[in-house]
Amino acid sequence: MGTSPKCAASFIQPNPSVQIQINGEPREFSHASLRLSELVEQLALAPQRIAVEVNRQIVRRAEWEEKQVRDGDHVEIVHFVGGGENQ
């Protein structure tokens, strides 16, 4: 981590951004720290009937407000789609 460009930038910026892997895609957020509830809001996701994992652990909806998402975290957000059998 010490040699990555992002770290060099963080040395200059007082409020470094965080990079989070969401559904396999890297996403930058311009906050030093981010709550899961804020992340869901920033992604403009309807919070009903989605489920969220952080680093493979399900975070219950009631805990989204408390849960801090940190630089390098892997977040999975799923919902339901049409399907009967293997799509």
Partner 1 sequence: MSAPAIALTDQFKVAGKAFNSRLIIGTGKYRSYDEMKAAHRASGAEMVTVAVRRVPLDHSSESFLDHLDPALRILPNTAGCYNAEDAVRTARLAREALGTEWIKLEVIGDQATLFPDNAQTLDAARTLVKEGFVVLPYFTDDLIVAKKLLEAGCAAVMPLAAPIGSGLGVQNPTNLRIMREQLPDATIIVDAGVGTASDATIAMELGADAVLMNTAIAEAQDAAKMAEAMKLAIEAGRLAYLSGRMTKRLYASASSPSSGTIQR
Q: Which residues bind partner 1 (CB under 8 A)?
A: 22-25, 27, 43-46, 48-53, 56, 58, 60-61, 76-87
Per-residue CA distances from 27 to 23, 31, 70, 85, 87 (Å): 10, 12, 12, 32, 27
Q: Which is nearer to partner 1, 2 or 49 (CB)?
A: 49
Q: Which is nearer to partner 1, 9 or 78 (CB)?
A: 78
10 burial class (0-12, 13-18, 19+ CB within 10 angstroms)?
Answer: middle
Q: Which is nearer to partner 1, 7 or 58 (CB)?
A: 58
Smallest separation (angstroms) from partner 1 to the CB of 52: 8
Rounded CA-CA distance 22/82 in Å is 22
Smallest separation (angstroms) from partner 1 to the CB of 35: 18
